[in-house]
């Protein structure tokens, strides 16, 4: 069985996050033993991304979602940050601008999708439009259902046109979130990340969990799967994400293009 299967949400699967342990990790592996493995997968990821960029026929979209302090930035820094910026970029989705609000909810996401040969990492994503909006009653259930359908169609359009999609939910506990938020308060170098809203949103924890469960049930497919990653242990989160991405790219059998120049003629003319 592929490693990713144990974390992948199957199509139309009913998900209960309360039954998934955010502390879950390989009992036979500790942080010290995991570090060389994470490094190995990070280096392999860099090589595979180089091949994807050189081949320039396919692209990869990685969506990261989590509760506040769930580890999206850390995952980008410690795992996905190994990729070459020439063919990889990160797109953060914050509060929509007036221009973005004047278009349909998927407009700004479509503009940010990766070109052929490119990897795009969405730090939050278009799924915010069925998360925050639903939790705070900005859209009703009927509108939410329509948006699920629009998202599925959008992702199908991308995959039909050569974009591979991997979506990760970094699953932390409510207690771990509070621990991380408090840690920010104790570190002046991280005060810029502190927002009162992050603490107030904790009042809606159960509503967000339910909203995520609905997303997984409606919007995980074989072509654009969701993976629920236990993320209380940062080292295990990094191991799982890196291994899944490498496993997926490895399966694409990416090939370097053939040379377009006469290598031997260039070598004999200019290098002797």
Q: Which residue has the tokens 């070109």?
A: 115
Query: For residue 2, what pLDDT is reported?
Result: 85
Terminal Cα-to-Cα distance of the chain (whole angstroms): 52
Token readout for 179 is 């621990």
The residues, any chain, with a CB within 8 Å of residue 136's CB and separated by 6 or more, are: 204
Partners of 129 in beta bridges: none
Percent of residues, the chain, with pLDDT higher than 70: 100
Sheet-wide strand order for 226-230: 8-9, 226-230, 163-171, 59-66, 119-123, 88-92
Mean pLDDT for 97-117 is 96
pLDDT of residue 1: 62
Give 128's DSSP letter.
G
CATH of the domain at 42: 3.40.50.300
> Comparing C-alpha atoms, which of 87, 84, 105 is closest to residue 96?
105
Mean pLDDT of 17-26: 93
* Packing angle of the helix pair 141-160, 205-219 (nearest 10 deg): 50
Residue with tokens 């509070």: 178
- What φ, ψ does residue 20 adopt, rounded to 5°? -110, 120
92: tokens are: 């953060």
> What confidence tens digit (pLDDT) does each residue in 186-232 have?
988 988 988 888 899 999 999 999 999 999 999 999 999 999 999 99
Residue 97: how many other CB atoms lie within 10 Å: 9
Q: Which of 2-6, 171-175, 209-213 has the lowest mean pLDDT?
A: 2-6
List 227's β-bridge partners, or say none: 8, 168
Q: Let me know: does 229 contact 7? Beta carbons within 8 Å.
A: yes
| d(C-alpha 272, C-alpha 269), whole Å | 7
175 pLDDT tier (thresholds 50, 70, 90): very high
Residue 95, judged by CB atoms within 10 A of its CB (0-12, 13-18, 19+), counts as exposed
Instruction: Name the pLDDT band for 94 (thresholds 50, 70, 90).
Output: confident
CA dihedral 63, 68, 71, 73 (to 10 degrees): 70
Measured in degrees and rounded to the nearest 5, phi and psi for residue 155 equal: -70, -35
Total domains in the fold of the chain:
1
Phi-psi region of 67 (alpha: psi -120 to 50; beta: other; left: phi over 0): beta
Per-residue pLDDT averaged across 75-102, rounded? 92
Secondary structure class of 130 (helix, strand, coil): helix
The range of the structural domain enclosing residue 178 comes to: 3-270
């Amino acid at each position: 069985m592929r490693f990713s299967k144990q974390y992948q949400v199957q199509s139309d699967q009913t998900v209960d996050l309360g039954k998934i342990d955010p502390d879950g990790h390989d009992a036979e592996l500790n942080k010290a033993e995991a570090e060389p493995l994470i490094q190995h997968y990070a280096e392999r990821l860099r090589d595979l991304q180089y091949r994807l960029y050189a081949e320039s026929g396919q692209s990869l979209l990685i969506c990261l979602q989590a509760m506040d302090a769930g580890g999206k930035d850390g995952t980008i820094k410690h795992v996905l940050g190994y990729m070459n910026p020439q063919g990889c970029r990160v797109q953060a989705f914050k509060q929509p601008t007036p221009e973005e609000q004047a278009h349909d909810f998927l407009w700004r996401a479509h503009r940010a999708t990766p070109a052929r040969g490119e990897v795009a990492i969405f730090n939050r994503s278009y799924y915010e439009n069925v998360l925050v909006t639903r939790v705070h009653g900005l859209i009703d259930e009927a509108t939410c259902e329509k948006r699920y359908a629009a998202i599925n169609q959008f992702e199908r359009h991308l995959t039909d046109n050569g974009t591979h999609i991997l979506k990760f939910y970094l699953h932390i506990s409510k207690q771990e979130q509070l621990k991380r938020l408090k840690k920010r308060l104790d570190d002046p170098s991280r005060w810029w990340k502190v927002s009162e809203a992050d603490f107030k949103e904790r009042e809606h924890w159960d509503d967000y969990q339910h909203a995520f469960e609905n997303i997984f049930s409606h919007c995980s497919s074989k072509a654009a799967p969701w993976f629920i990653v236990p993320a209380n242990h940062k080292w295990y989160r990094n191991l799982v994400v890196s291994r899944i991405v490498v496993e997926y790219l490895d399966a694409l059998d990416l090939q370097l293009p053939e040379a377009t120049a006469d290598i031997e003629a260039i070598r004999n003319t200019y290098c002797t």
